[in-house]
Structure 1
Amino acid sequence: MRLVVGLGNPGLKFKESRHNLGFMVVEELAKKFKASFKRNIHCKAYVSLNKEVILAKPYTFMNLSGFSVRRLKEKFDISLRDILVICDDFNLPLGKLRLKPQGSSGGHKGLSSIIQALESEDFPRLRIGIGRPLEEDFSSFVLSRFSQEELSIVKEAISKAVSCTQEWIYQDIQRLMAKYN
């Protein structure tokens, strides 16, 4: 069994923000699997269980995502290599995907929280580029919505991320890195 965690912030205020790309991908995956999410109070996440994969959206807010991921890992007895975390990345150009088998947080506070909670960097992650802000106010930028001009690129990136994740459920990550990075 594999676990796919999309990172984001709960609530309508953040629904279509740049920082919620992880949620957006996991929601699209749920549609593909014809699955729905149920609130799991123990894990503090919206969880969708099916035969192939567990999908999750922590509702702890981005910077506390590690709590949910650790609880999900423990509850479902998932190994680190079978957890894929999907998140935004302002160090990548808009729409660019970067799949890695492990690594640092790269300054992403959601990933930092997960690394701290799991006491390891050894879990796969799929980062999706949101571009860089024109000014240095990163927090306002990541919480902002995409412009109309950016939306077509974002939709294509979400579609690629969904395909990549569906393939990751069954395939070796090295092959997928060559295909999607």
Structure 2
Amino acid sequence: MFFNKNRTSGVEWLLVGLGNPGDKYENTRHNVGFDAIDALAEELRVPVQKLKHRALTQTVELGGAKVLLMKPITYMNLSGEAVGEAARFYKIPPERVLVLSDDVSLPVGKLRVRKSGSAGGHNGLKSIIQHLGSEAFPRIKIGVGQKPHPDYDMADWVLGKFTGEDRKLISQAIERAGQAAECYIAYGPDQAMNRFNG
């Protein structure tokens, strides 16, 4: 008798939020990827705390698929080590590795869903490209705003915290990023781009 391999037994997607581990990085611009995973996990009422593949993880049903939520604990610049390891372990192709990251070229709170692309100067994305050996992985970029003036140090900017009105805008964006990820997994890139690229 012929048995179909049961697809539900294995992880079908990786949903990776980028950030840095540790209290001093909490609520910083660079950590909105982590925050988006946390918001989604809270909504699904699951903790993301199993240590696997050098990341905090949890397997969930999302958009009709079995998805591994991941928060790499390698620090931002080495995110690809965790992502590459998990992708190889679960045999996940790049087009099913969906990455949530901050973007300084977008206004605060704006989302941009992309099917693929370069790192655009983002060290976390650069590391993932290196370890997957491909730029062809989808990403949801969360706008954190441009630095106030050209001389302002980029590291200081992305490791700074949101204040005032920006805090409100970013909380809404973090929630919408989780919805965009679910939409991407369930209905594909075109629908996600139409709905969430504001």
* TM-score for the superposition, normalised by structure 1: 0.95
Find 1:47's aligned residue among 40, 57, 64: 57
Question: 1:63·1:110 contact (CA, 8 Å) conserved in 2?
Answer: yes
Query: After the TM superposition, which residues 73-92 of structure 1 pair with which residues of structure 2 at under 5 Å, given as runs?
Result: 73-92=87-106
1:80 partner amino acid: P
Query: After the TM superposition, which residues 1-181 of structure 1 pair with which residues of structure 2 at under 5 Å, given as runs?
Result: 1-41=12-52, 43-51=53-61, 52-135=66-149, 136-181=152-197
Q: Which residue in 1 is equivalent to 2:4? A: none
RMSD between superposed Cα atoms in Å: 1.1
The whole-number CA distance in structure 2 between the counterparts of 1:5 and 1:31 is 16
**Unaligned stretches of 5+ in structure 1?**
none
Alpha-carbon distance, 1:95 to partner: 0.7
2:161 partner amino acid: R
* TM-score for the superposition, normalised by structure 2: 0.88
Alpha-carbon distance, 1:38 to partner: 2.9
The whole-number CA distance in structure 2 between the counterparts of 1:50 and 1:166 is 11
Question: 1:81·1:124 contact (CA, 8 Å) conserved in 2?
Answer: yes
Q: How many residues align?
A: 180
Question: 1:60·1:68 contact (CA, 8 Å) conserved in 2?
Answer: yes
The whole-number CA distance in structure 1 between the counterparts of 2:101 and 2:60 is 22
Question: 1:25·1:162 contact (CA, 8 Å) conserved in 2?
Answer: yes
Alpha-carbon distance, 1:120 to partner: 0.5
Percent identity over paired residues: 39
Alpha-carbon distance, 1:148 to partner: 2.1
Question: 2:184·2:191 contact (CA, 8 Å) conserved in 1?
Answer: no
| Greater C-alpha Rg | 2
Question: 2:40·2:175 contact (CA, 8 Å) conserved in 1?
Answer: no
2:126 partner amino acid: S
